[in-house]
Amino acid sequence: MIILMHSSKTMRAPSGAGRPAGVPVLLGRAVELVTYLRTVPVDQLARIMSLSPDLAARTAQQYAEWSDEPGAQTPAAATFVGDIYSGLRVDSFTAADHRYADTHLRILSGLYGILRPFDGISPYRLEMGTVCRRARTRTSTGSGARRSPSNCRPVARSSTSRPTSTPGPYCRTSPPTGS
């Protein structure tokens, strides 16, 4: 059984929550996305993420301070803040609880994709409903392309959209036995 949890908008800065025990599977994509989001002006962040100017400025600051270095990260389950995470009480896990959670618990993240509870992350703000289509446009010399931030927008909610599941390193499950 795999338990899916959503991430929270509120996150703790790295502290004494322990060292991460893993690396997010899609960390390379998160690095690429943060690198891009660092180029988006604060007023555009406010518009595409439906944020107040102050919150957009704090979000831009989070992107500026974001790091993929393990020493600057904390375990995902200890970084997110909210009722679900305080109820999880990850700081009181035994070794057996830790192994069980690492095998059966996954956290959906707008930046990192899917996380194991002890993968290292840095605080960020990016809701899963925000899409950034990075359109390629020709440079003035015609050699190469640059990415345009003008195509970021919130995703329209659809009652017909359904999550999909792809087997992979996030969830190692066995097919059902019997018929």
Triad 37, 40, 42: Cα angle to 5°? 115
Beta bridge partners, 170, equal none
What CA–CA distance (Å, rounded) separates 60 from 57?
A: 5
Cα(80)–Cα(61) distance, integer angstroms: 18
> Per-residue pLDDT tens for 12-68?
776 666 778 889 999 999 999 999 999 999 999 999 888 999 999 999 999 999 999
Count Cβ atoms below 10 Å from residue 59 Cβ, excluding itself. 20
Query: Distance between CA 63 and CA 59 in Å, rounded?
Result: 6
Residue with tokens 């020709």: 138
Over the stretch 34-47, which tens digit does the pLDDT of each residue have?
999 999 999 999 99
Q: How far apart are the first and last CA of the chain?
A: 18
d(CA 168, CA 148): 31
Tally of CB atoms within 10 A around 153 = 14
Which sequence spans correspond to the domains of the chain? Answer: 3-154
- CA-wise closest residue to 39 among 151, 155, 148, 154: 148
Taking the C-alpha atoms of residue 60 and residue 49, their distance in angstroms, rounded to an integer, is: 12
What does DSSP say about strands 135-138 and 145-148: parallel, antiparallel, or unpaired?
antiparallel
CB proximity list for 161: less than 8 A, separation 6 or greater: none
Average pLDDT over residues 74-85: 89
Which pLDDT score, from 0 to 100, does residue 134 have? 56
pTM score of the predicted model: 0.71
Distance CA 9, CA 124 (A): 8
